[in-house]
Amino acid sequence: MAAVTLPATTRNSGPVEPRWNFPKVASVVGAVILAAIWLVPLLWALDTSLKPEPETTRTPITWLPEAPTLAAYQGVIDQGDLLRWFLNSTIVAVLVTALTLLVSVLAAYGFSRTEFPGRRVLFGLMIAGILVPPQVLIVPLFQEMTGLGLVDTYWGIVLPQVVAPVMVFVLKKFFDGISRDYEDAARVDGATRWRIVWSVMVPMSRPILVAVGIFTFIGAWNNFLWPFIVTTDPSMMTIPVGLANVQGSYGLRYAQIMASAVLGGLPLLIVFALFQRHVVRGVGDAGIKG
């Protein structure tokens, strides 16, 4: 009868690391503290929006409303064209995101993969554009939009937000980390530069493109200053501008102010929750490639 060989135990495999040590505990505690710092104001805004208006200024302050009500949300909806503002913000954010990705991908690929006179100087100027505050360009941009007849139009809101030097820089660094062997193989098969960009570079960069797209969408949705400057027609206002005007009409009513903040931020929370995995993966890939 053949002998049965039992697997040898690793007796001298070294000391087993404890499941919990000080760095891990400190990281968890730090993450919990940061999450609480972020979450408490959000919960307080939601809690205040559900209170009757007199209760918001009562002392001592109470956390839970005695009689929860949706009156603040109803007041915000009744005093403004909320659905129209949501539609405007959606159209503007989608257009800004799509055009920014298109321009940024082409610019990043040009800086990363092509050689042309003045490339380094032009890239340096593009990086310097990151240091220019957007507020400095408000007056010339408004004069340009007025001259083109784009005030109170979607394109007047969208076009000045399309150029994003930060996104070009991020995508350029990511493209630098992609091996040129893929492009060489595509050229052997007869692919043109346009085909390489859209059939090779873009599919390989999908995680970072999703992350860039989400951050661009959030920035365009939250942008208040430029839409406030370039729109005078209430039917063209975006959600931040419209809610700000509604707040100005009813003064310091804290429940309605918090209700408007919750309504304005809810779509972004939903978008981020749906694409959180892609955002985290894209940011991680950008850090590795860069």
Are 37 and 164 in the same domain?
no
Are 47 and 131 in the same domain?
no
Are 64 and 89 in the same domain?
no
Supply 93's token pair. 């954010």
Please give, one letter per residue, the 3-state secondary structure of 125-191: HHHHHHHCCHHHHHHHHHHHHHHCCCCCCHHHHHHHHCCCHHHHHHHHHHHHCCCCHHHHHHHHCCC
How many independent structural domains does the chain possess? 2
Are 117 and 179 in the same domain?
yes
Are 120 and 50 in the same domain?
no
Are 104 and 204 in the same domain?
yes
What domain range includes position 192? 81-289
Cis peptide before 60 (omega within 30 of 0): yes
Predicted confidence pLDDT, tens digits, the chain (290 residues)? 455 555 554 455 555 556 667 777 888 888 888 888 888 888 888 888 888 877 777 777 777 787 888 888 887 777 767 888 889 999 999 999 999 999 999 999 989 888 888 888 988 888 888 888 888 889 999 999 999 999 999 999 999 999 888 889 989 988 888 888 888 888 888 888 888 888 888 888 888 888 888 889 989 998 999 999 999 888 898 988 887 776 655 556 778 778 878 888 888 888 777 777 766 665 555 554 44
